[in-house]
Structure 1
């Protein structure tokens, strides 16, 4: 596995880079080229038709570059890719990322053959190849990217890493995660996987000190037995979204990245077989749960307490808790008495604790009492308040997040907040959530599933 780490590291920490097909014309690869040439990464543009790009001298061929090159990024048209790969191997590079699409995924015989030739080169050389049909790598730790990531804007990193086959999704994930305050460590898109696949990257991320949670969007696997082997060894939580569950979806996978989706029941059985491997249903669920793993302590048990301003939403949460095999915490009588001393007589103080309109005056006291209850292992806070009174009376929300963070850290208990209301309210919470590291969701089912996965992970790892 140490060799694997060395092989893969060139994609995340390259000492020198050549962009073949680099251009200052506004098209695919423009932003990436502009960014890398203006960054501290040693980058060389290669284009047979250009002399200068963004003020940098352009080389006609990679072998014209006088310095050693570690990593090549290929964005030329598909008919030129094979020769470009051969030139790069001749140069003695360590890694190649082929972003160009139009190979086996098309089903066209000639293009399938070109991909097969590239695959042979990878097998018969010491060069590792990602792609084709991808956007490659983004490393948030050192701000290296082969995608369209704009690191000139403020993009905060984190400890969640993403493996995906789809190229476009790599860019979308990054933009969306920034808006949701979800911090990534690394994103990797693999495309058609002529060489490097999810197994190589899983092995790398397992040893990566900056990755605590791994998320995977999977369309198909070529090395099934090897996948089983690596899943058995992983010690970090892994959330997998495997598509192609239906016959229609399986056919769509083949035309997207040229992968065979495989029998979904087999995948389902494999994922359930190993601790720490969790299958999710969509991207929102995957990243919401990943954010909880990344920011919250693991629960010591499966007893969930709920604070809500809506009794109806509290009941929905209770149904989810029971459905997933968790427990609705039975609050200690002393806890109830502590809350009763500051609460109106009409509030419901049994779990779920429905504070209703008294939320802003009694929240702090109730939060402290509940989290200090030894019968409570985790807390779900459901916030459902119209924006009008919040704006009109400047009702405090930030202090709630701060107090939740402080108590969660002090008592080592996870907290998730579910927000229901206007876009303004949700965005207000998200704006402040990053500072206090309290996950913000709009789906109760995602929150309860996060508690379930975290509990299972703690039990299986005897934490």
Structure 2
């Protein structure tokens, strides 16, 4: 073993709260000298077999010398992590460096916690720490009978080599993440997070802590709602000041309850919550719904610190938290019937899973759903979203058979990269409709701690589109679209037929269809205002039988002679039998009226019911949202292609060298032109060479070396790209033309312009386009594309995508700008090579995804021509990244 480096400071950034396979939590941290007693206790509680597997011999107790060696590490060559639950160590992993890049790794998991996935999560974290310390490979020696530990290595997704010698299994593997290891980790993350939510939504025993005899208090209200919903499990009341509350025996503490309690509803003053959390930990509660307020939403450091302590204590003791400031949760499953919320009337059983970040809007959301006749499978109000977030619910709803569509009311996005990854996966299976408030200001609600973002609203909308999320602007639209995707099949195309008994409303529907650039399937089918149900049925049957029709807008206003229920009957029956998407403006009703509901199936409304909207415009708007989402579902997912000529190591080395000694709090460092060219070249992007000159003689020499014709331009930032100045002279064919251009620049822009000038070879003609990328503190890397020019900048005609991007993403990115005709042969011009633009975008996206130190990158202009493109100019700024939320080993946000 090589000599040890100097001992490093305690690496607090390695600490993490983690989820285990069964949904419970644990805390991971580097081992400390004060862990001596805990390590003794951990070892003494282990079975003889576990001790033998770890030490290859009977080892009934650790000596003080052993413990000192195990707990005193240098965090460089000798690193150890412990997993704790409460104050107890439940797992230990360590590595000892053998040489410069190889280390021996060893595990020991508590007998009481084996099978919970501790080994795999410890391996992820120790491997990440090892990579940070320059280690590339792990080796381990394992007894053949220790099948569980061998499985930890083999199932991690690394390429493992095993050798047998003298009854010992020698294992070795590289620890650089692979596609397989990342997939394994994310599959485990999915199962653990889904399980943690399931434990909260399907408890067998619930304690209401803080329920009092006063009828209108928060705790008493939740207790009343639990009983009214007919909760299938056991309900307990905790109130140290009472013997009985509403017919329930009151316990002084949750610890005093004789039976198991899975879920605690906390409705006590904020200052009493910590004591409650500790009691719940002692009881073995797995989840907390904190209705109490007085935390981060107060906007004070005291409130924020109280919230942090709540989450820290809960996670350290194996629990998850919904809230604080939550409105509660609802699970309408007939086998559960959980209304642990402040809503007096829970929604009916339905197919919609609803997440709300706002506690205050809980009543409005549930009342709005009930008014439309919409049922829900589950409803969760996150309040301050201190722990459980929308990302956790997406993991749960992805495979929940009771949920067919997901609605999200979001006030902020805490981890956009993870949200995008999960949303894209969920949206491939179920519609995902989201309302995000505060977009105009990118504001963050009080109580939600987020990094600052510098992205415009358009970029966030692009993130939703890239992930397949149906984005809406109002709460009403959230339900408008939700009621459609939860009841009707998705449209198979964009061809829309209109049928109705009102010419005026038919025309409104036609105008709406065409304004959204949907295809009108023939003329509207009009029936007489007083048409009978049979006449209406004949018109409907005709459009449903037409193979050129994908969806139908049905309009019915009540005449005096035709009963509405007769028309409703034929509309509902024919729509359900057609298999096509149907929306209606039926009697001006909003929601899913009883007359248009399909055969009851235990949910509300039943699948196949026809949703109604007060106006044809609202009906068409919801239909358009569903049609665009269906088109996204039909589109190939694409792949992140393997690009040739990539040298990530060279790029990282260049950036690290330039940032060496650059203060972390200093503004981003702009790379020299030569460095920017080298960085891009490492990712297969060639930039047209530039020669910087300060005299006319140097300019002539540079032009001769580059070869005429050339371009002369000023490099002074304040004079570049200004529409009122001519800072570039093009197509200079000889030295005489170059000298003349030099003189013109000096006379028009001043001496400064030519003291800092550049000469380039004249590039082939083409359409100027602009490619930029930046590292956003909240969203991570983002890439933009647009046609060059002041008009494009003024109109904001830019497309955005968030790496990793697929070939399908970049194809859509190029074709989604309004100026696309300039690239496809406007007014007889030759179309440009769109494939070359797409490859450039893929390479830039890969660069900024791989190298987060790239703070900003600008390629402007890029001249796109019929047979390729030329990157004329590149500017790159680098800085120390703040760290991406969705990077590294699994950890709770």
Give the TM-score, by structure 1 length. Answer: 0.86
Q: Does 1:383 align with 2:529?
A: no
Shift in CA distance, 108/442, structure 1 to aligned 2, threshold 3 Å: same
Q: Is the 8 A contact 2:211 2:238 kept in 1?
A: yes
| CA positional deviation for 1:428 | 11
| CA positional deviation for 1:396 | 1.6
Q: Secondary structure at the match of 2:529?
A: helix
Aligned to 2:666: none
| CA positional deviation for 1:435 | 4.7
What do the CA deviations read for 1:227-262 (whole angstroms, capped 9, x no partner)?
122122112110010000223xx55x5237566795
Aligned to 1:317: 509
Aligned to 1:368: 541
Partners of 1:261 and 1:420 lie apart in 2 by 47
Partners of 2:451 and 2:340 lie apart in 1 by 26
Q: Does 1:210 align with 2:402?
A: yes
Q: Does 1:413 align with 2:580?
A: yes
Shift in CA distance, 145/128, structure 1 to aligned 2, threshold 3 Å: same
What do the CA deviations read for 1:114-149 (whole angstroms, capped 9, x no partner)?
011112224433211110011121011132011133
Aligned to 1:333: none
What do the CA deviations read for 1:184-240 (whole angstroms, capped 9, x no partner)?
111111011111111001110111100010010101122222112212211211001
Shift in CA distance, 260/137, structure 1 to aligned 2, threshold 3 Å: farther
Aligned to 1:236: 430
Q: Secondary structure at the match of 1:244?
A: coil
Which residue of 331, 337, 352 corresponds with 1:143? 337
Aligned to 1:267: 460
Partners of 1:22 and 1:291 lie apart in 2 by 36
| CA positional deviation for 1:413 | 1.0
Partners of 2:459 and 2:276 lie apart in 1 by 39
1:171-186 correspondence to structure 2 within 5 Å: 171-186=363-378
Q: Secondary structure at the match of 2:610?
A: coil
Partners of 1:292 and 1:379 lie apart in 2 by 12
Which residue of 352, 357, 363 corresponds with 1:160? 352
Shift in CA distance, 359/428, structure 1 to aligned 2, threshold 3 Å: farther
Shift in CA distance, 245/108, structure 1 to aligned 2, threshold 3 Å: same
Q: Is the 8 A contact 1:239 1:280 kept in 2?
A: yes
Q: Secondary structure at the match of 1:440?
A: coil
What do the CA deviations read for 1:323-349 (whole angstroms, capped 9, x no partner)?
32211102xxxxxxxxxxxxxxxxxxx
Partners of 1:429 and 1:272 lie apart in 2 by 27
| CA positional deviation for 1:169 | 2.3
What do the CA deviations read for 1:367-424 (whole angstroms, capped 9, x no partner)?
11222122221111122346xx2xxx5x321222222222222221121111455xxx
Q: Secondary structure at the match of 2:490?
A: coil
Q: Does 1:357 align with 2:549?
A: no
Aligned to 2:262: 70
| CA positional deviation for 1:360 | 3.2
Aligned to 2:593: 430
Aligned to 2:800: none
Partners of 2:633 and 2:369 lie apart in 1 by 29
Q: Does 1:32 align with 2:199?
A: no
Deviates more, 1:402-411 or 1:181-190: 402-411
Partners of 2:203 and 2:452 lie apart in 1 by 32
Aligned to 2:192: 3
Partners of 2:489 and 2:226 lie apart in 1 by 37
Q: Is the 8 A contact 1:166 1:257 kept in 2?
A: no
Shift in CA distance, 45/219, structure 1 to aligned 2, threshold 3 Å: same
- The answer to which structure has the higher helix fraction is 1
* Bigger radius of gyration among the two: 2
Partners of 1:140 and 1:228 lie apart in 2 by 28
Deviates more, 1:260-269 or 1:100-109: 260-269
Partners of 1:246 and 1:427 lie apart in 2 by 28
What do the CA deviations read for 1:69-116 (whole angstroms, capped 9, x no partner)?
111110111121122122212221110110112211111221121011
Q: Secondary structure at the match of 2:434?
A: strand
Partners of 1:111 and 1:195 lie apart in 2 by 15
Q: Is the 8 A contact 1:164 1:170 kept in 2?
A: yes
Partners of 1:306 and 1:137 lie apart in 2 by 40
Partners of 2:539 and 2:402 lie apart in 1 by 36
Aligned to 1:23: 212
Aligned to 1:337: none
Aligned to 2:445: 254
Paired residues in the alignment total 427
Partners of 2:308 and 2:235 lie apart in 1 by 29
Deviates more, 1:308-317 or 1:107-116: 308-317
Q: Does 1:225 align with 2:417?
A: yes
Partners of 2:401 and 2:486 lie apart in 1 by 13
Higher relative contact order (CA 8 A, sep 6+): 1
Shift in CA distance, 121/223, structure 1 to aligned 2, threshold 3 Å: farther
Q: Does 1:13 align with 2:185?
A: no
Partners of 1:413 and 1:443 lie apart in 2 by 21
Q: Secondary structure at the match of 1:374?
A: coil
Aligned to 2:476: 284
Q: Does 1:193 align with 2:360?
A: no
Aligned to 2:625: 453
Aligned to 2:602: none
Shift in CA distance, 260/400, structure 1 to aligned 2, threshold 3 Å: farther
Q: Is the 8 A contact 2:287 2:321 kept in 1?
A: yes
Q: Is the 8 A contact 1:212 1:236 kept in 2?
A: yes
1:92-107 correspondence to structure 2 within 5 Å: 92-107=284-299
Deviates more, 1:435-444 or 1:50-59: 435-444
Aligned to 1:134: 326
Deviates more, 1:432-441 or 1:82-91: 432-441
Partners of 2:193 and 2:465 lie apart in 1 by 26
Give the TM-score, by structure 2 length. Answer: 0.46
Partners of 1:94 and 1:211 lie apart in 2 by 23
Partners of 2:376 and 2:531 lie apart in 1 by 33
- The answer to which structure has the higher strand fraction is 2
Q: Is the 8 A contact 2:550 2:580 kept in 1?
A: yes
Partners of 1:42 and 1:61 lie apart in 2 by 16
Shift in CA distance, 139/260, structure 1 to aligned 2, threshold 3 Å: farther
Shift in CA distance, 85/445, structure 1 to aligned 2, threshold 3 Å: farther
Partners of 1:23 and 1:381 lie apart in 2 by 52
Which residue of 264, 273, 276 corresponds with 1:84? 276
Shift in CA distance, 308/10, structure 1 to aligned 2, threshold 3 Å: same
Q: Is the 8 A contact 1:51 1:58 kept in 2?
A: yes
Shift in CA distance, 106/383, structure 1 to aligned 2, threshold 3 Å: same
| CA root-mean-square deviation | 2.4
Q: Is the 8 A contact 2:572 2:598 kept in 1?
A: no
